[in-house]
Chains A and B, each alone.
Chain A
Amino acid sequence: MPVIPAPFSYHRPKSLAEATALLAEHNDEARVLAGGQSLIPMMKFRLAAPEHLVDVGNISELKGIQRTGNTLIVGAMTTQHELQQSQMLSEAAPILKETSLLIADPQVRYMGTIGGNVANGDPGNDMPAVMLCLDAAYRLTSVTGTRTIKARDFYEGTYATALKTGEILTAIEIPVPPAGHGHAYEKLKRKIGDYATAAAGVVLTTRGGRITTCAIAISNLADKAILATDAAAAVIGTALEKPTLDKAIAAARSIMSPATDTRGTTEYRTSVGGIMVERALKCALARAKG
């Protein structure tokens, strides 16, 4: 098996305008290189062989984390390591750091970016489910302009997203979850560095110990990250009593369709997928103040 990528032309634009112009010029023959921690392995195995690689690592417009009012704006080229270092993000939306620490290993997190993780369309990636829970939106820019699309409308299937040829994900807009919200991301994996056998994220709010709002999303249990809307609806208005919890877990399991692979059979992964939902719900409820 070759582990040397096919030849390509390398471009390192210094501005977003230059990058989008390169993508417009080369169309389907170009790929964006962010941290490279997914794309380079794919290129080594020749699962990807772009003729033009547009390295966006030198574009300062894609970096940085800001808060504007009740929205967090995270530049697409923010690495997992940088995300973990942001006190402001950790306080406003702690599920981001909690999840980031469960991704890959330290070396990969120094290079791997939040933008790459959410835009790649790999159902094994962890951040898409978190973005579904937080109801984030993605800013996509091309030579013709910028549009914003909800994470909940972005994912179409394995490596298939609403990102069009010529577009670059430039930033993620995250509504700040209410103060006192509860959160959790529970990931079962064989070892550090592995993709999830099954994982689930939860963001919820409570009043008087009862759940008032709830979003649940699951990773690597279907061809894309998906919201478990029926499961979330089942827990609203409750304090997660046993029958409610069982109903929510059953609803979540009913939308799981993991492939049988080296991580386990469809039945096993669906079974533990339900357990991840249960743990994430219980943990988020315990953390919520309200």
Chain B
Amino acid sequence: MAKTHVKMNVNGREVESLVEPRTLLIHHLRENLNLTGPHIGCDTTHCGACTVDMNGKSVKSCTVFAVQADGAMITTIEGMAAPDGTLHALQEGFRMMHGLQCGFCTPGMIVRAHRLLQEIPNPTEEEIRFGIAGNLCRCTGYQNIVKAIQYAAAKLSGAPMQEAAE
């Protein structure tokens, strides 16, 4: 099958590739671009471990063809920290509030939470839970994930915050 030329901006870098039309975005990111932060969990649009940001939208990259992302701006977990390695407020929040245990869902959670905070900078707990409803975590029970996102929201808006997990 003829390959299709695709060009996208991934974490600030312009990348051009030839992909088979049936290549899913998650496979393109992981296998062609070596970005293994986005995970393949369920492969059926349920778990959200493969979530990346595409043109300002959180998407499940197992349910998008790479050809659909032609011309897109993509951010993965690898693009969240500053170039000098300083953690993003969300990454710091997940660390400080123990927002992860096994860590498998974390890249998708953080990228999703990033978009959520762009749209609702100071979300209520209910808005956070509704906003991350497409991301499953089997370890934490979500309590500390919610706290981690609240930590990041507070830090990003300059509000006083709790220093560490209870």
Contacts and interface: CB of A to CB of B under 8 A. Distances in A.
Interface string A171-197: 000000000000000000000110000
Contacts of B20: 7
Nearest to A191: B133
A7 B44 CA distance: 18
Contacts of B133: 105-106, 192-193
B149 interface: no
B134 A8 contact: no
B92 interface: no
B112 A57 contact: no
Interface residues of A, number: 29
Contacts of B91: none
Contacts of B57: 81, 110-111
A41 B64 CA distance: 10
B48 A55 contact: no
Nearest to A6: B22
A193 to B, nearest CB: 7
Nearest to A11: B21
B68 interface: yes
Interface string A220-259: 0000000000000000000000000000000000000000
A124 B91 CA distance: 37
Interface in A1-37: 3-10, 12, 33, 36-37
Interface in B64-78: 64-65, 67-68, 70
A57 B22 contact: no
B159 interface: no
Contact of A40 (B51, B58, B64, B131): B64
Nearest to B42: A3
Contacts of A108: 45, 60, 63, 134
Interface of B: 1-2, 4, 20-22, 24, 43-46, 48, 51, 57-60, 63-65, 67-68, 70, 112, 116, 130-134
Given A106-B112, A110-B58, A111-B57, A10 B67 contact: yes
Contacts of B116: 106
Given A105-B134, A192-B133, A36 B67 contact: no
Nearest to B45: A41
10 contacts: A4-B24, A9-B21, A10-B67, A33-B68, A36-B64, A40-B24, A107-B59, A111-B57, A111-B60, A193-B133
Contacts of A4: 22, 24
Interface of A: 3-10, 12, 33, 36-37, 40-41, 43-44, 53, 55, 57, 81, 104-108, 110-111, 192-193
A192 B70 CA distance: 30
Nearest to A111: B59
A98 to B, nearest CB: 14
A58 to B, nearest CB: 9
B60 A36 contact: no
Contacts of B44: 3, 41, 44
B63 A111 contact: yes
B64 A111 contact: yes
B135 to A, nearest CB: 8
A193 B47 CA distance: 10
B142 to A, nearest CB: 12
A235 B111 CA distance: 48
Contacts of B22: 4-8, 43
A-B CB proximity, top 9 nearest: A105-B134, A10-B21, A110-B57, A192-B133, A7-B1, A107-B134, A3-B43, A5-B22, A107-B60
Contacts of A6: 22
